Amino acid sequence: MTLKYEILKRLVKAVNIKKMWTGMSTEELLENKRKQNAKNRIPDLKDEAFDISRIEIMGCPVLKLIHKKKANKANLFLIGGGMISAPRPGSVKKALRFAKETGVDVFVPYYPLCTDYPLTKAYEMIQETYRVMLRDYDSENISVLGTSSGGNLALGMVPYINDGHGDTPMPGYIMAISPGTCVDTDKGCRDPGAVYENRGGDHAAWGRKRSGIYDLAAEGRLHKLPEDDLHLRQRRDALRLCAIL
């Protein structure tokens, strides 16, 4: 256990974050997050080695961090936030650092959140972002990296593609770091906010039978992605993995 982790653990216990979350009703929690997200801003990133731009997909912004020196590999960078928090500026700046250190182009989607949309909307938007990337990169040269709830979204791309989107090739690699979700029921996939109605339950949901797209994984529908291409690694290994793709 690192010193940094020990300090963070003690800090979380001191401020009693768990009580702050479980002490609110679902609607109170979502409204609180809506206000925080309204104040969140997409950072104005600048780097002389990159062409940095913003596009819209399904009405949601996507940051493109493209090397001026042409790269033939790209990464779909899914930042977690419990499905209800927008990517923080600090996390987006880490995406730029990630692009610099790995040499891959990076796409950062601000996917729809469960404060106002069903979980399936996030998967749909991420799928469309991936399809845009396929215009310029071969599927085997596209990796997907997700942390926390972003890791859950990354893993979910496989059953989503298998479930009626077979015309889309699988990405070359998926790296899920501490993937987690709260979805336990069909309602959790369909309804905004339902994803947080069982906050006291199991948040490390992958590998457990789920409804909707989660059932596809439980039924073995991951077969189109080679087993050794599904990387579950610690945070310290993520950069190294993407660098060798």
* Token pair belonging to 167: 């015309």
pLDDT at position 202:
34
Residues in the chain: 245
- Domain regions of the chain by residue span: 3-243
Nearest to 101 by CA among 239, 245, 241: 239
| 97 CB-side CA count, 13 A | 8
**Alpha-carbon distance 120 to 191, whole Å?**
9
pLDDT at position 52:
97
In single-letter form, the type of residue at position 84 comes to: I
In this prediction, the residues of the chain whose per-residue pLDDT falls under 50 are 183-190, 192-245
pLDDT at position 3:
76
pLDDT at position 83:
87
pLDDT digits (tens, 9 = 90+) for 104-138: 999 999 999 988 888 889 999 999 999 999 999 99
Q: Which of these CATH numbers, 1.10.3720.10, 3.40.50.1820, 2.60.260.20, 3.30.1490.20, describes 3-243?
A: 3.40.50.1820
pLDDT at position 238:
43
Neighbours of 204 (CB within 10 A): 11
